[in-house]
Amino acid sequence: MSLGLFLTRLKNRLTFFIQRQAKAHWGGCFAISDWNFVEHAGDRHPTGHSQSPSWKILECFKDIKRLCSMVDILGHGPSPKNWSYSKMTHNGLVHSRLDCIYRPSKGWTSGKVLPMATNWSDHRVIMATAYLRKPKIEKVSPAPRLPSVEALEKTRKFWLRVLTGWKALTNYGPVTLERWKSFKDEVLCAG
């Protein structure tokens, strides 16, 4: 799939999600990725017109940023000091900042971005701390999922299934999300 098609599909699906799922409050998105293009020409060295992304890709990406209320953790402009990719070409060493972290523009601040070289890739691992400025705590009451403990105490079948499932979950290596979900679903079904 081409980058342009991928970004167009992502924009359409995000638009649908935000319109349908996030009507009450939409705080924005986090996005961490190797974007395979640079948003600013200054994020590439040496700069070269032949490697510039098409205006359609940039416009689609800007639409996604607006839709998700995202800003680059490094700020609005280019950041030549934080190259995340390097490659030797016939023209010499090329640097780019392809890997970016985007955070919601409102309610969050960012720490310094740290690119770290790796031994396994021509990309660097990038890390940054994001801070929530105004946490909002809401009272939440859990949805009723199981009968009361008193009702569950009256049946031996429930606890036998739960304990058998727990033993199976914990005796076979690390607990994966898939195995945890399976255990949880089994408990809810038993209840």
Q: How is the chain split into domains, by residue range? A: 3-132, 149-190
Question: How many angstroms from the chain centroid is the CA of residue 121?
Answer: 21
Look-up of token digits 């990309």: 123
Measured between alpha carbons, how far is 32 from 127 in angstroms, rounded to an integer? Answer: 10
- 15-31: pLDDT as tens digits: 888 887 666 667 788 88
What's the pTM value of the predicted model, to 2 decimals? 0.63
- 121-140: pLDDT as tens digits: 888 888 888 888 766 666 65
Detail the DSSP E strand segments found in 1-160.
31-34, 44-45, 70-72, 85-89, 92-96, 99-104, 108-110, 114-116, 125-127, 130-132
Query: Which residues have C-beta within 8 Å of that of residue 31, sequence separation ≥ 6?
Result: 68, 70, 100, 101, 102
Q: Please check whether residue 140 is in contact with residue 147, taking contact to mean a CB–CB distance below 8 angstroms.
A: no
Q: Percentage of the chain with pLDDT > 90?
A: 9
Measured between alpha carbons, how far is 156 from 139 in angstroms, rounded to an integer? Answer: 34
- 81-120: pLDDT as tens digits: 888 888 888 878 888 888 888 999 888 888 888 888 888 8
Q: Please check whether residue 101 is in contact with residue 91, taking contact to mean a CB–CB distance below 8 angstroms.
A: no
Q: Which CATH class is domain 3-132?
A: alpha beta
